[in-house]
Structure 1
């Protein structure tokens, strides 16, 4: 992992705060959908850079300058997110397409033009680009629909591209570290969201307790992911016979839902802190408990995709979160967040006991940012986003 990649991530962190703010302003299903539509291109832009740096030795000056410039594209996108559905729509799309075009230009130095144009994260923007521009030039529902179609094409592009070109193997250590860092960034934004809300008013005992409970929830979810997930992801990619397919499932697609679930959790926690002794309104409860369920059920899917075994502990925890959501509208929010923490802790203990029975233990090496795998980085026709 290079310093340029870490610097590039700074703009993505800012974008995460903007998504939280956008979702905070509209908790409805329509608001969640509109936020997700904007989240897809930002996530895809981050994923394209991650794949490129995984496949290439980016020590060259042109690559390093290109990654830093892509960070500027990400910053401009982040600045326009709050009003993307209003007067900043065209600027949002211009920044996004400029970044994708720059990434495609960097890739064309290594990949034949025909393949790069229509296959992979470097070229699919030539299909979605016109839809995005058309949406930016319209207003209201038409913009939402056009951008939703473009987002759907982006989501389907890795699967479509897999049928159009032979795909090579990625470097498991670097790739999993990058997606692990993504999760750290999103969790970090959750902590920032809670802190930003807490400092706006007097720090009463109940509010301090709410902050500690929110931090505990983020912490136990973090422990679950890094203690029992990321190391499993890496080992699976190292031995997979069809690594590209597995990589799309457990990293590209799953982490889209991991990330968005954490964003909704952050918004729900932010709404809980100001009035921890009051029940949550239905929409806030949906964000908080639904986000936890999305995270844990995605965690269960990844386990099934790797091992072809049902992760009953993770499914049980995710289902419990969903069942607790209606209760959160009747019981003080602080008590419900503590209950969420308890559910995840029980799941972690069960995971730990199961792992020890199998003779394993959490791979703490995955908490470190280590060197890349020593594999060849020759020309590739990758198609992940």
Structure 2
């Protein structure tokens, strides 16, 4: 996903506003993927959405690693980054028909994104050029497979689409991982920002589902409960684990181990979390206007399954980093999945149970620490009086 450039300090680089602008363009792909899955909640559509999300996320991660090594601080670099943003935008527009009429457009845009990524890395000096000799051809091969999938008929279309992420996964292991150098502060902040923007974009996607819908009690309940679920998605990620994760990454001194951890925890685990955000947004959208009605099984599974995916992805993230709390995420994911039959009875009951489960898991995780803090405070007060 990424390439070298040796930062001199852990805190020297922070995320620029141009990178945040880039993230806003990228997150439009999340909106489009949500709309595509909401149109047809089937296993086939889910597979297509996950394939698109993986290849899109791979190159977003490539740009995150890129700006970690090459700051967009010149006109040439900013112009190239703008070209990459344009590729992401056109790609997002083509998503609804990426396996149909506009497959070629998605493929061409994706190839542009890859070529710009390679060109930008050439700005990072001789070490980056050496690294790109091995990684760039694999990334471009994956892009050509996506393009071929947009031009070929079935079953070759899906064969190419499945092959593309396999090539990308292999690329993460075939090049010299020890050549990568990661600025922990910038890297963690960049991924945290895209997560919060994606959660916010999911709220926008849900809000669009209210267009033309009469705002009664059921609709207001769905809106408020949807916001509560989004809040606990935020809580899971940002209630301290983001800071702890930065400390863990910064504490890994070996460049190869640090880069591998970055690839696994912020690459693969975050992919699962983003997939959960997409699926959850679909499930909540399907409750709009039907709060007191039963959901179809696919809709109820999407509602709980999205939260479960997010919890599972974050559990994997914490487990990879050796940070506690991941068992609470796993248990919460299983309990939320058990609520699927409730949605098949009445939608709002399932939607109401989900934030309750998430809150209970958060309280159960935080309670021991709060007790220890309280005992320490009492002990300190006692010593002061003595």
Normalised-by-shorter TM-score class? 0.7 to 0.9
The Cα offsets for residues 72-122 of structure 1, whole Å up to 9 and x where unpaired, read as 111110111111111111111111111111110121232454530322xx4
Give the Cα–Cα distance (whole angstroms) in 2 for the partners of residues 220 and 339 of structure 1: 13
- Secondary structure (helix, strand or coil) at the match of 2:212 reads coil
Q: Which has the higher helix share?
A: 2
User: Is 1:329 aligned to 2:344, yes or no?
Assistant: yes
User: Is the Cα–Cα contact under 8 Å of residues 139 and 171 in structure 2 kept in the other structure?
Assistant: no
Aligned partners of 1:206 and 1:277 also within 8 Å:
yes
Q: Is the 8 A contact 1:117 1:126 kept in 2?
A: no
Indicate the residue corresponding to 1:340 in structure 2: 354
Structure 1 unaligned spans of 5+: 361-385
CA contact (8 A) 2:300 2:343 kept: yes
Match of 2:5 in 1: none
Aligned CA distance change for structure 1 residues 157 and 326 (closer, same or farther; 3 Å)? farther
Q: Supply the distance in 1 between the matched residues of 2:325 and 2:23 (Cα, whole angstroms).
A: 34
Q: Do residues 126 (structure 1) and 143 (structure 2) align?
A: no
CA separation in 1, counterparts of 2:277 and 2:170?
A: 23
Distance 1:236 1:158, change over 3 A: same
Q: 38, 57, 60: which is aligned to 1:46?
A: 60
**Contact 1:107/1:116 (<8 A) preserved:** yes
For 1:194 and 1:249, how far apart are their aligned partners in 2?
Answer: 30
Q: Is the 8 A contact 2:27 2:194 kept in 1?
A: no
Separation in 2, partners of 1:264, 1:257: 11
Measured in 2, the distance between the counterparts of 1:318 and 1:228 equals 20
Q: Aligned-residue CA RMSD in angstroms?
A: 1.9
> Of the candidates 133, 141, 163, which is equivalent to residue 117 of structure 1?
133
**CA–CA distance in 1 between the matches of 2:109 and 2:224?**
38
Deviation, 1:239, is 0.8
* 3-state secondary structure, aligned to 1:140: coil
Contact in 2 for aligned 1:220/1:345 (Cα 8 Å): yes
TM-score by length of 1: 0.87
Listed one character per residue, the Cα deviations across residues 230-255 of structure 1 (whole Å, up to 9, x for unaligned) are 12211110112421121112111111
* Corresponding position of 2:247: 235
Q: Which moved more, 1:128-137 or 1:269-278?
A: 128-137
CA apart distance, 1:310: 7.3
Number of the residue aligned with 2:96? 82
Counterpart of 1:209 (choices 214, 221, 244) is 221
Compute the displacement of 1:298 (Å). Answer: 1.7
Partner of 2:272: 257
- On the 8 A contact 2:202/2:277 being kept in 1, the answer is yes
In structure 1, how many angstroms separate the alpha carbons of the residues matched to 2:86 and 2:354? 38
Partner of 1:144: 158
- The count of corresponding residues between Structure 1 and Structure 2 is 355
Q: How big is the shift at 1:319?
A: 0.9
